[in-house]
Amino acid sequence: MEQTLTIIKPDAVGRHLAGKIIARLEAEGFEILGMKMVYLSKQDAERFYAVHRERPFFNDLTTFMSSGPSIPMAMQRDNAIDKLREVMGATNPAQAAEGTIRKEFALDIEKNSIHGSDSPASAAIEIPFFFNGFECRL
């Protein structure tokens, strides 16, 4: 079993889509190991997305991620990272495949409703950013 992290982003939480997204992930075979609602500060968002610090979208991304509540979830299943990336769809919802979460729920490339770890190395950093051993079966 492989573990990954997903975050239901502020745009989706604010539009009351969390339940639909969680149901979709569970239907795709993901087991939720830990889940909570958080309110990231700008500094927290900057720490979480530090890998993108030099990218032109960094400030907009961290401002958006600190604009309202989000729901991080640690999950597992076979081939979890690749499967989550497939279920989420392309970052830009205009390019996302039909039936993906981003195609169905995203508003635009920034407000794209969901984050997912892109590699085992990222998941190993991202999961403990939000969860400790008391909150999540790691």
Indicate which residues carry an active-site annotation: 115
d(CA 67, CA 118): 23
64's tokens: 């958006």
d(CA 70, CA 32): 16
Report residue 118: phi and psi, to 5°. -100, 0
Q: The dihedral of CA 97, 39, 124, 31: what is its sign? A: negative
